[in-house]
Every structure is written in C-alpha cells, then in structure tokens.
Structure 1
Amino acid sequence: MNSKKVYLIRHGQTDYNLQSIVQGSGVDSELNARGWQQAQQFFEAYKGIPFDKIYTSNLQRSVQSVQQFIDLGIPHEKYEALNEINWGTREGTRITPEEDEYYRNILQTWRDGETSICIEGGESPELVSERQKPFIEHVLLNRPEEETVLICMHGRAMRIFLSNLLRYPLRCMDQFLHQNLGLYQLEYTGSMFTVKRYCDVAHLR
C-alpha cells in the first residue's frame, strides 16, 4: 500500500459528557442535541470527501456521529477494537472530588510509564492497545483499495490509537488532545503516519 488518508474523529457530545458522568465501553449512551448538531456541522464540512469506508466502534454514540455519511451509502463496519476503554467500577457514575483524585492518580501512573495497570474493574492502556493492533494491521493497513477512510471512536481509546499509529509510547498518550467531534487528519505514506490536522474543530460553530 502506497498511501492512505485517515480522518479520525471523536464522537459528538452526550448528556453523560455534559454531566461529567463516566461512560467508557459499558455505557451505550446516545448523542444529545448538541452532539447531533456537531455531527451535522462535521457532515456539512466534510461531505465532499470521497470516503471509501467508515469504521466505528460498536457503541451507538460513535455510529450516530457519522450516520449521515452512512446514509449516503458509504460502506460501514463496526469494530469492538475501537470501543472506549473500560473504566470499570467508575462507569455510569458522576465524577466527584474523590473520584477526581483517583483519576489523577491513575492517569499519573500511566504517564509515569506504568501503562499495564488497570483501572479498578476495567482495562489498562496496554489492554486497549492490544485489541486495537489487529484492527490497524489487518483492516486499516491491509485494504489498499480503501484510500480514504473515516473513523469515529472515543477519547481515551483515540489517544491510545494515535499512539499506536504514530509509534509513541503509551505514556505519552495524553499529548493527543480531543474534543467532541474534533478531527485528526492523518496520511500514511507506505511506512509511517503523519498528522496533517491536530484536533481540528474549525467546522464546529
């Protein structure tokens, strides 16, 4: 494969995002009104891109964010590999000051390089990375006929995904910022990915 263009976005806003409730892979929430508006704005900005394939997680907020592209007839596949990290016992709970302290500690643990440590009852960055790698190798990089693809997934999982694509150690994943319906545009030249747009939200008004 000589080249590939990847448009990578995070899903639109949900009420859980708005209320600071942890979602993860175990909470299958829908987009709220603002999330649907963001999806519409992204569609209007990028509907002219000739996408060959759309990939999403299994979670409906991911699918809903690109539904208008799917409705155009662009082929679409869902992969569990693109699901959000499993946040374990914290999923479905509102973040309190005590929870904030726990999260700060676990995130600092990961930044310190201990990325094999799982959050209580959930996954570690390394576990998420390992489920993503077969998708990258056997799907994303092994279908040369799909020259331009759109991928919609989730914040923490996207940080891990970008670390994998760009060959960064997982301890550096927090440098990849994300916002609801923010875009990373990447290009693969046959040997490596490069970033053309970094968390671009110019399409959101």
Structure 2
Amino acid sequence: MQIYFVRHGRTQYNLEHRFQGGGSDSPLLADGIAGAKAAGRYLADVRFARVFSSPQQRALDTAKYVVAENRWQPDVQLEAGLAEFNFGTWDGQRESEVEPQAYAQVLLHEPGNYDPQRAGGGDDYAGFVKRTTSAVKRLVEQNDPASDQAILVVSHGLVTTMTVKTLLGVPVAELRDPLDYQGQRLKTIGNGIVANDSLTVVETLDNQHFTLKKWNDTSFLTD
C-alpha cells in the first residue's frame, strides 16, 4: 500500500509566522486554495481506497479541494490522531514573540531536549509522533497493507514531516534535522518541515517497514 500525505494549503498564520498547532486554526489564503486544487488535479487519476483528514479546518478544507478534483471524488473521513502538534498557550502567537524566546529555539531545533512544561505546555515530540504514527498504522491496517490501492492523508507540516521520518526510522532527537535518504539530502522549508500543499508518499507491504517514494513534491504548483 502507498500512503499519500498532503500538507494543508498556506494560511494567514503561516504568512505571519505564528505557531499554528492543534489548538489554533487560520483560514486558507487564496494561494493555499489554489495549491490544494493543483494538488487535486495532480492526483485526479489516483483511485484512493480511503481519504483521511485531520479534524482541523485548514486540513479539512484542503482535503475537500483535493478530492473535488478527483475522478472518483471519495468521501473525506476525519481522524483525530492526525491533529497538529499542540503548542499549548503558544498556539496562535508569533514565533518571534513567545516567551521564553530562547526556549522557542529548543522547540524548533532540538526535539530531543524539548520539554513543553518549560514552554507553553501542549505536546512533546515523543508523545506526538507516537500518536500520529499509531493513527497512520491503524488506518493502513484497516485498509490492508498488501492492497494495491492507496490511501490519502491530509494534515499538517509537523504531522507529515515527523510521522514520515518516524516511519522511516529517524529517532526523536533528529526529527528537525535534514533528511538524508538513500544518499540524497531531501529538501525542507523553514525549521525542517515540508511545504504547504506538498505531496509526500511512502509505501509499505506489512505495516512495519516503510520506504519513501516521494518527498515534499511541489512541482505541480508551478505547472
């Protein structure tokens, strides 16, 4: 089975460099909507067994735009385990304005050392990726990992990036590091995550071992 991951389109909070996690939401910008539609056109001929979205509005809206372009227009099902990393009281605040500012750099660059109790509360990295990878594996199991039909997961920057890295065996301490895979350093955007509206694809036959087929692909946004 292949699992297609799409990150939601760009929002106002993305534009303003605010923490936008599990406790906050911001509407898609016009270019975020356009990107979601472009992703949908790119995936128009992929017949997904199921489509799953984070329950947060920016992801659900993106999923709806994507499936509206699909030949089969599958239903979108909400999956709570795909909600974004919760930044606690830092959610919705500008990254440059949270206090203590020095500890914000730990959040952004040192996941192995990050303690939410020293920040705004919310998630820690180990608990977060346990939640998201468990959700993805459960969805794969429900739809048969040996199936030749794919599933689509529409979620968030940290969900996509950290979940895929964890499935590939990257330890928590290295989740913000550049991803080196099969001799290539794969691109990310600020703070080591995938881009808005990007497509990442992984494959598994047994729900235990995962291989990367596509990473942070945004080529369709310029077509």
TM > 0.5: yes
Name 2:191's counterpart in structure 1: none
Name 2:218's counterpart in structure 1: 201
1:167 aligns to what SS in structure 2? coil
Q: CA deviation at 1:84?
A: 0.6
CA distance in 1, matches of 2:98, 2:143: 46
Report which stretch shifted further, 190-199 or 7-16. 190-199
Pick one of 28, 35, 42 that aligns with 1:38. Answer: 35
Pick one of 180, 184, 204 that aligns with 1:188. Answer: 204
2:39 aligns to what SS in structure 1? helix
**Counterpart residue identity of residue 29, structure 1:** S
Are 1:107 and 2:108 counterparts?
A: yes
Deviations 1:124-163 (A, max 9, x none): 0112123224313322233216821111111122222113
TM-score when normalising by structure 2: 0.80
Over 3 Å counting, the alpha-carbon distance change for 1:146 and 1:78 in structure 2 is farther
Is the contact made by 1:65 and 1:152 (CA closer than 8 Å) also made in structure 2?
A: yes
**Counterpart residue identity of residue 179, structure 1:** A
CA distance in 1, matches of 2:109, 2:200: 25
Deviation beyond 6 Å, 4+ runs, structure 1: none
**Counterpart residue identity of residue 20, structure 1:** H
Name 1:150's counterpart in structure 2: 152
Over 3 Å counting, the alpha-carbon distance change for 1:107 and 1:17 in structure 2 is closer
Over 3 Å counting, the alpha-carbon distance change for 1:146 and 1:29 in structure 2 is farther
CA distance in 1, matches of 2:110, 2:126: 13
Name 1:135's counterpart in structure 2: 135
Percent identical residues: 25
Q: Which runs of 5+ in 1 are unaligned?
A: none
Instruction: Pick 1 or 2: higher relative contact order, CA cutoff 8 A, min separation 6.
Output: 1
Q: CA deviation at 1:62?
A: 0.5
TM-score when normalising by structure 1: 0.87
CA distance in 1, matches of 2:170, 2:150: 23
CA distance in 1, matches of 2:107, 2:5: 26
CA distance in 2, matches of 1:189, 1:37: 34
Q: CA deviation at 1:76?
A: 2.1
CA distance in 2, matches of 1:6, 1:126: 22
Aligned residues: 199
Q: Which runs of 5+ in 2 are unaligned?
A: 180-187, 189-193
Q: CA deviation at 1:168?
A: 1.7
**Counterpart residue identity of residue 150, structure 2:** T
Q: CA deviation at 1:64?
A: 1.1
**1:11-90 alignment runs, 5 A limit:** 11-71=8-68, 72-90=72-90
